[in-house]
Amino acid sequence: MSTGFVHLHVASCFSTHFGTAWPEDFVLAQSLSPAAALTDRDGFYGVVRHVRTCLEVGISPIVGVDLCVGSHDRVRLDSTRGTRAHNTYDGGIVGGQITVLAHGHDHGVGWASVSRLISAAHHDGVKNGPGTINRAAMVTPDRIPSLLCGDDGPCATILLGPESDLGQAVLASDVPRAKTLLRAWKSAFPNIVIEISSHYTQPGMSGSIPHAAGMFEMALASGTPFVLTNAVRYLHRDDAITGDLLDSAGRLQPMGSFDPQPNAQAWLKDAKSMRQVAEDVARYAGEPGLATRLYESPLPLVERCVVDPHEDLGWQRAKVPELEVIGLSGDPQKILDERCRGGLVHRWPRPNQDLLNQITDRLNTELRIIESFGFATYFLMVADVVDLIKGLKIRVQARGSGAGSLVNYCLGVSNVDPVENDLLFERFLGLKRETLPDIDIDVESARRHDVYYAVTRRYGSHRVALLSMQNQYKTRGALRDTGLALGLPNEKIDRTAKSLWRLNVSEISEALKSRPELAELAREVDADPRLRVLLNQSKRLYRLPRYIAMHPCGVILSDQHLLSLTPTQPSGLGIPMSQFDKDDIDDMGLLKLDILGVRMQSTIAYTLDEIERRHGDRVDVETIAFDDEPTFDQIRSTHNLGVFQIESRGQRELVGTMQPDSFADLVADISLYRPGPMKSNMITPFVEAKLGFRSPQCLHPRFRQTLGDSYGVVIYHEHVIRILADCMGITLGEADGVRRRLGKHHDDVEVEFRTRAAQRSDEHGRRLFTDAYIDRIWETMKSFGSFGFCKAHAAAVAVTTYQSAWLKTHYPVEFMAGIMEHGPGMYPKRLLLTEAKRMGIPIYGIDVNTSTDHYRVDEGAQGAGIRMPFIEIKGISGTEVRRLIEGQPYSSVLDVIQRGRVSRVTMQRLAGIGGLDSVSRGSSRGTILAQVRHLTARPIATPCEDQEALVDEDGVSTIVFPEVPDVDPLSAELDILGIDVSGHALDPWRGLLDEIGVTPVDQLLNLRNNSRVVVAGIRVSAMTSPSKSKKRVVFISLDDGTGVADCAFFDDAQHRVGPDLFRTRLLAVKGITRRTGAKGISINATEAWDFTRAVSQDTSHDI
C-alpha cells in the first residue's frame, strides 16, 4: 500500500500492450492515499472505472493522459492535408512524450480540455511514428495552447518527464537545447511541470539516477515547478513479467530480440521506496537537503487536479439531446402526451368502451411515471430516431423490455400490443433511477450503416458517437502471444492453442490431467519444460484488453457537450468512436441506443420488395392479424427453415411437441427455448396443460388470470412481478426491484416476502395466503430469479417470427428468394436450396440473359421460381457481374465472350453450370465448354489453309460437334454453390498417366516437330472430314485440363483403334506431332485406347 505518496503518472492495462493492471486494482491499492491518478496512453479508456472505484473507496480521483508529441517538421508535412492552418510555432516542440493532467473542480472544463486534446491527437495524428510502437495518436504542439486553455486560463498541467524532448536533451547533456526547449514549452503553455522520475536504470540511459538528477537540477536552476513520479506500469514488481509479455506482443518479437524493460522498477512503489528515490536523486544532484521537498512535490498538483465527479462530470445524471435538435420546443411532457394520444387513435381506431378505458388508464399511468423520472425527452428522442429510420424506408422495431411500453407502442417505436399481450411498463421503467434505460432497436442488417449516418446528420456529429469495446485476450491469444514471447516454434504454439482454446486458462492444468483427448498434449507438456512455462505464464495475459474496436451496435446520443465528456477516435466508418465502453455509459449519464442489424429484417424487406415487383401490391406486414390459421399450420409442420428463431433442430422438436396455435404460444416457445427452462422442467407442465393431459396447476387461484397466457406455468418476469406485487402488497415498480434482487440476495428477499405475504389480508381481515401457499409460491419465485424471461422481449421477437412464417406461408417463392439473398439463420445455402425444392419451388440455374446480382423470383418453365445470381459463380468479381448484366441480352456464346468481357475462367465456369445453355441452340454442356475453351484460348491457333473458320458470323461453330454425353453431370446445386467446376474428370488418373509418360497438352509446343508423343484426355469432339485422298480422316479432340489436343486418325490408325474411337470418352492417343503454324500443333495418331481399361496392359503401351 502506498500511503502518503500520490502517484501522478500511472498506466493501466488500458494502455495497450503496456500497462498490466486494472484501474480498479490500482485504486484499491491506494485506498489509504488521499487521491489516485490514472494517466493511460492515448486516451481516457479506463477513467470512468477509475472514478467509480475512487468513489466507492472514498478517495479523490485524478485523471490525465500520456501522449506523444509531434514534431515541428511533421506538422509542416501534415499541413498539406489541409485540415489545419500551417504551424507558425517558433522554437518548435520536437517529439517526445508528455503527460497531461486535467484540473478539477472547475465545472468540467479541465476534463473537457484534455478530452478534446485526446480527440485531436487521434484525428490529426500520424499513426506509428518512428520509435513509437502501437501509439495511434499524436498531438501536434500548436494544438496545445488552444485546447488546454479555457476562458479562465489554462485548465490542465503538462508534465515533462525523462521521455519528453526536454528529458532527452538533458540525457544527452545538451544544456543549450534543453534550455531552449523549456523556454519554448513555457511560452506556449503556462503550466509546465518537470517530472522527476527514475527507474534506476543504468547510468547513461534514460530514467537513471543521474538523468533524474539532471532534470531536478534543471528545474531548480530555471525555477520550474517539479513533481516526483514513478511512471508506473504495473502493480507489483513481479508483474514486470506481464509487462515483458506485452512488450513482446506489441512488437511481435520474442524476448531477447529487442531491448526489454531495463528492470522491474516501474511498480506502484510504496512510500518508503519513493522516499528512497527522492533521496537518491537529491543526493546525486548535490541537494540532499531537498529530498523531502522532492518527495512531497505531488501535493500541490494533487490539489489542483482532483476531479469532482458530480460537479465536473454530471456523474450519473442523464444527458439527452436538446429538444430543439428535433425541431420541438416547449414542455417535453406535453409534447409526449399529445403524440401518444395521436398514436393511440392510430393503433386502435375503433375500441369498445371497456378497451378504451383500459388503454387510457394504462397510458396515463405510464405518462405519470415518465414525468416523475423526467424522461419525456428521452422517449421523444427514441421516437425521433425510429421515425428517422422509417423515413429512410428501413424496417425497424424495438425489442427488449421497452417493447412492453404502451407509450412506445403509441409512438410507433415498438410493434407489440402491450395490452393485448399483457406486458408491463414497470419491467422497463420500474423503480426510480437516475440512469436512462437501455433500448434495443432492430433494423435491416444491410442498411445499418445508413442508419448511423442518418442519425449523425440529424443530431450533429458533436452529439453522436459510436460505442467502443475492448477486445480482451482469451485463451488462444494469450497462449499465442506468450508462446511468441518465449520464442517457441510456431507449430508447437499452434498445436497447443488449437487443443486448449476452448478452456479458460485456469481450467487448463485440470483439463490436461483429466481429459482423454488432451492426453497427448499432456505428455508433451510433461516432456517439455518450455510448454510448462508457456501454460503458467500465459495466465498473466488472460482478460487484459488487447485492442479497441467498434461495438457492433451501440450508438451514443447526447447533448451538445458530448465531446467535452468523451474523447473520440476514428472508427473506420467516418463517425467518431467514443473511448468509453458499455460499462462506462451509465455512470456518465449518456444515452445509448443499441441499433442491431438483424438479417431477418433485411429478408422481410427484400421479400416485400419482390412481392411488390411481381404482384404490384405493397404488403404491410405490420398490420397482418396474428391469428392466421394457415400460418400456424405452417409453423406446426416444423418445416420452419427460414422462420425467425424457430428453425433449429431443437426448436423443431419443441414446436412439434407444443403445437402452437396462438401468438401467445409463440411468445412462450421463445421464452422456454433456453437452457434454464429446458433443464428445469418448465416445458413439460406447459405442454401437458396445453394439450389437455392435465389441468393447469395454478400457483394460487388469485393468479389464474395472470398465468392464463402460459397454462399456469410461471415463465415471464412479468408474471413474477405481478405475483410479487400481489403477495407483498407493493407496487409493480417495487416488485420489479425485488425481482432483480432475487438472483443474488434471495435470503433477504425471502424474509421480506414471507413476512409481507403473511400479513396480506382481505377486507374481512382473513389472510390471503396460507403458509402452505406461501411456501409453494416462494419456491417458484426463487428459481425464477434465473429462469424467467422478459415477455416484452419475447413478444417482440415473436412478432418477427410470426411475420416470417406468414410470408413463408403466403408468398413462399418471394420469401425463399429473400432468405437466399440475405442468409439469416443458421443454415448454409445448400440446405436453403433443398428446402426451396421441398416446398416445390423451382430453382432456375444461372442464365447469362436472365440472372442478375440478386436472388430473384423468375418465371420459368416450371412456373415461378428462384433464379440463381451470377455472384454464386466461384471467384467471379463484382466488376464481372456488372459487365455481364450491362451487356444483357446476349445472342450467342461468342457474343457473351465479346461483350460480357469476363475472364476465361469465369466463362468456363459459366458454361460448365449451364449459364450459356440458352444462347447455345441446344448444344450439350460439354460441347459448349469445348467451344468456350477454343474461343477464349490464348493464343488462338492459326488456322491452316484447308481448315475453315471455326465460327461463322453468327458465332455458331462451323465444326459440327456431334453430341457428346456430358462428362460427370454436376448437379445444379453443387455447381452453383461454388464447387470448382474446373476440377477435371482426368484428375483421378493423373498418376497413371504420368507413369505412362503422357505429355500435357500445353507442353506440346515445346516439343520438336515430328516428336513421338502420348496425350490423353476427355474426348470433346469427334468428327470426320474427307482428306485429299478421299479416305476418311477422323479428327478427335481431347481435353486434358491444360488444353485441347487435336488428333488426326488416318485410315490405318482408324483400323487399328477400331470402334473405341467413337465409343470411349477417356482416351489416350499415341502419335507424332505436326506443327500447323507458329503456335499450332496437332498429332497424327497411330494408336488410341481407353486408358481406364489399360491398367494391367500398360507394358504394351510404353513409349
List interacting residues with other proteins (CB under 8 A).
Answer: 199-203, 208-210, 237-238, 240-241, 244, 254-256, 260-265, 280, 283-284, 286, 485-487, 529, 532-533, 536-537
DSSP states along 317-331: --B---GGGGT--S-
The number of residues in the chain equals 1103
Ramachandran angles phi, psi of 958, nearest 5°: -80, -20
Q: Which residues contact 257 (CB under 8 A, 6 or more apart)?
A: none
Rg (CA), the chain: 38
User: With contact defined as beta carbons under 8 Å apart, do 986 and 1065 qualify?
Assistant: no
**Smallest separation (angstroms) from other proteins to the CB of 275:** 11
Distance CA 651, CA 670 (A): 9
- What does the angle CA 738 – CA 744 – CA 747 come to, to the nearest 5 degrees? 75
Tell me which DSSP letter residue 549 carries.
Answer: E
Ramachandran angles phi, psi of 725, nearest 5°: -60, -45
- Residue nearer to other proteins on the CB measure, 167 or 912: 167
**Interior/surface letters 1067-1086, b for 16+ CB within 10 angstroms, e for the rest:** bbbbbebeeeeeebbbbbbb
- Residue nearer to other proteins on the CB measure, 129 or 254: 254
**Cα first-last separation, the chain:** 88
**Smallest separation (angstroms) from other proteins to the CB of 251:** 14
**Smallest separation (angstroms) from other proteins to the CB of 260:** 7
- Residue nearer to other proteins on the CB measure, 17 or 690: 17
- Residue nearer to other proteins on the CB measure, 240 or 411: 240
- Residue nearer to other proteins on the CB measure, 246 or 714: 246
Q: Is 737 exposed, middle or buried (0-12, 13-18, 19+ CB in 10 A)?
A: middle
Nearest to 868 by CA among 970, 974, 981: 974
Number of H helices, E strands in the chain: 46, 23
- Residue nearer to other proteins on the CB measure, 96 or 207: 207
**Smallest separation (angstroms) from other proteins to the CB of 276:** 9
**Smallest separation (angstroms) from other proteins to the CB of 37:** 24
- Residue nearer to other proteins on the CB measure, 484 or 941: 484
Placement of cell 500398360 in the chain: 1098
**Smallest separation (angstroms) from other proteins to the CB of 255:** 4
- Residue nearer to other proteins on the CB measure, 532 or 838: 532
**Smallest separation (angstroms) from other proteins to the CB of 533:** 6
- Residue nearer to other proteins on the CB measure, 241 or 1005: 241
- Residue nearer to other proteins on the CB measure, 529 or 1026: 529
The helix or strand, by DSSP H or E, that contains position 1035, with its residue range, turns out to be: strand 1032-1039
**Smallest separation (angstroms) from other proteins to the CB of 733:** 52
**Smallest separation (angstroms) from other proteins to the CB of 229:** 17
E strands in 167-246: 192-197, 226-229
Nearest to 972 by CA among 812, 834, 819, 875: 834
**Smallest separation (angstroms) from other proteins to the CB of 534:** 10
User: With contact defined as beta carbons under 8 Å apart, do 15 and 233 qualify?
Assistant: yes
Placement of cell 445509448 in the chain: 592
- Residue nearer to other proteins on the CB measure, 258 or 693: 258
DSSP states along 962-1023: ---PPSS---HHHHHTT--TT--TTGGGHHHHHHHTPPPGGGGGGSPTT-EEEEEEEEEEEE
**Smallest separation (angstroms) from other proteins to the CB of 29:** 18
**Smallest separation (angstroms) from other proteins to the CB of 903:** 51
- Residue nearer to other proteins on the CB measure, 503 or 533: 533
- Residue nearer to other proteins on the CB measure, 17 or 700: 17
CB atoms within 10 A of CB 752: 15
Tell me the helix, strand and coil percentages in the chain, rounded to 5: 50, 15, 35
**Smallest separation (angstroms) from other proteins to the CB of 209:** 5
